[in-house]
Amino acid sequence: MIIVLLGPPGAGKGTQADKLAARLGIPKIATGDVLRAALRDGTPRGREAKAFMDRGDLVPDSVILAILQDVMSSPATEKGAILDGAVRTVPQAQGVGIMLAEVGRRIDKVLLFDIGDRKLISRLSGRTVCGQCQTPYKDREPGSKCEKCGGSLMRRQDDEPDAVRNRLDVYRAQTEPVVEYYKGIEMEPVKIDADADVDEVTARALKALEPE
Ligand code: AMP
């Protein structure tokens, strides 16, 4: 099963992608995590992406499509994948569609996590993440220890207020049209109200994934 998760930054896509991946037994593919790992490792891809990421801008489609080509052709995604924040522009949506069609696969479901701007801003401004495994925490100070891996918690540079505002503008301008694109190819995203506690949102997402 190939599932695309759409929604603004701070909607909880990453947390839900982890939960859905565990429940469905398929991996989560988060391009943001892949890029942050490339940045930490100092690879050319990471160096190319850094300035875009720090500002909260999108990295070029060619970089994202190359990452998706790598992961979707790996045995790890044979049974499917949860694509978390991996499709953020119409050219990316088209590119992923073509890439999958070439190997006789297709997207099964698109979920759209929906939540108001005020909630997003307050979530992102209170968030710290583990520098190693990327687990997000609310209301924990930078420097605290990650419960999962013992790594040190930090604030993401793109969770600073200016970058957050830019990320929301970028979402409206470049990612919202992806919703219309999927509607146009009869793959209408299923809207999930994401303003609820984590388990409730997971239950809503799982319900949306049940066969019709
Ligand atoms: P995220 O962790 O999903 O919030 O992603 C962090 C940053 O990585 C984004 O603000 C973008 O700069 C970059 N990024 C991640 N995924 C994509 C994508 N599909 N297209 C373009 N840029 C992306």
| Residue pLDDT, tens place only, 40-97 | 999 999 999 999 998 889 999 999 999 999 999 999 999 999 999 999 999 999 999 9
Write the DSSP assignment of 133-162 as a string of letters. T--EEES--TTPBPTTT-PBEE--GGGSHH
Pocket of ligand 1 (CB under 6 A): 9, 31-32, 35, 52-53, 56-59, 64, 85-86, 88, 92, 158, 167
- What is the pTM (predicted TM-score) of this model? 0.91
- pLDDT exceeds cutoff 90 at 139: no
How far is 53 from 55, CA to CA, in rounded Å? 5
**For position 126, what pLDDT does the model report?**
87
Please check whether residue 12 is in contact with residue 18, taking contact to mean a CB–CB distance below 8 angstroms: no
Mean pLDDT across 181-209: 97
- pLDDT exceeds cutoff 90 at 118: no
Question: Residues of the chain with pLDDT > 70: what percent?
Answer: 100
Report residue 11 CA to chain centroid gap. Answer: 10
What domains can you pick out in the chain, each with its CATH number?
Answer: 2-116+172-208 (3.40.50.300)
Is 155 considered catalytic here? Answer: no
Mean pLDDT across 110-122: 92
Residue, of 101 and 212, whose pLDDT is higher:
101
Mean pLDDT across 182-189: 96
